[in-house]
Amino acid sequence: QKEVEQDPGPLSVPEGAIVSLNCTYSNSAFQYFMWYRQYSRKGPELLMYTYSSGNKEDGRFTAQVDKSSKYISLFIRDSQPSDSATYLCATIIQGAQKLVFGQGTRLTINP
Amino acid sequence: DAGVTQSPTHLIKTRGQQVTLRCSPISGHKSVSWYQQVLGQGPQFIFQYYEKEERGRGNFPDRFSARQFPNYSSELNVNALLLGDSALYLCASSSGTSGYTDTQYFGPGTRLTVL
């Protein structure tokens, strides 16, 4: 079993839709949670960084962490074609050196 | 401000050869991490260096090695290349000042193809 599970998609939605991306993790020691966006043939770009359970909002993006169920989500409101990319969830244990990534979900927003 | 830079952008090698990839971190950052991303998968941790010392190593064979220089730039070396080493190699930079949970910022990557 992978430490972080993420549905690879692909996910295709119309412009303006609300997008929900999700990951589950198995190790309760994971304490920090991130979402990265990766355009084709580019490096990952940090979108959101959260520590505790609850919601964190930044513009059209909301990250949600539920540590009790080991579930993390990213919501994108008013989705745009420019949001089309692969979204990677990642987590890390405090004191550890490595980010542990999910497989990534490939998202396409259709005009 | 310049972000993380990596060179070269693309590289084609044949099996058995050796390759060196280079990374320059964000100015002021002292920690560099290397990740391998195979097509269709998330990045996998290879190494982290801080102040020229190896801080962590992932589950990769000894064919993979790295080092960090006094200016905090880093090199990743892979010997005896295998077809399975074909991947996007990502370098990530972090400040290193607040411990191990610093935010990591990624470079554009080096795409290595092994024929």
Q: How far apart are CA B71 and CA B25, in angstroms?
A: 9
For residue B97, the model assigns a pLDDT of 62
By C-alpha distance, which of B9, B63, B42 is closest to A101? B42
Confidence class of residue A95 from pLDDT cuts 50, 70 and 90? confident
Per-residue pLDDT of chain B (115 residues; tens, 9 = 90+): 679 999 999 999 999 999 999 999 999 999 999 999 999 999 999 999 998 899 889 999 999 999 999 999 999 999 999 999 999 999 999 887 655 567 889 999 999 999 9
Q: How far apart are CA B81 and CA B63, in angstroms?
A: 8
For residue A85, the model assigns a pLDDT of 97
Provide the 8-state DSSP code for B86.
-
By C-alpha distance, which of A25, A36, A8, A12 is closest to A108? A12
pLDDT at residue A59 tops 70? yes
Q: Confirm or reject contact between B34 and chain A (CB < 8 A).
A: no
Find all residues with CB under 8 Å of A52, minimum gap 6, and list them.
A65, A67
pLDDT at residue A4 tops 90? yes
Q: How far apart are CA B93 and CA B3, in angstroms?
A: 9
Q: Confirm or reject contact between A95 and chain B (CB < 8 A).
A: yes
Provide the 8-state DSSP code for B26.
P
**Which residue, among A34, A98, A99, would best test binding to B if mutated, counting the most B CBs under 10 Å from its CB?**
A98
How many CA atoms does the CB half-sphere of B53 hold within 13 Å?
4
For chain B, report the end-to-end CA distance as a whole number of angstroms.
37
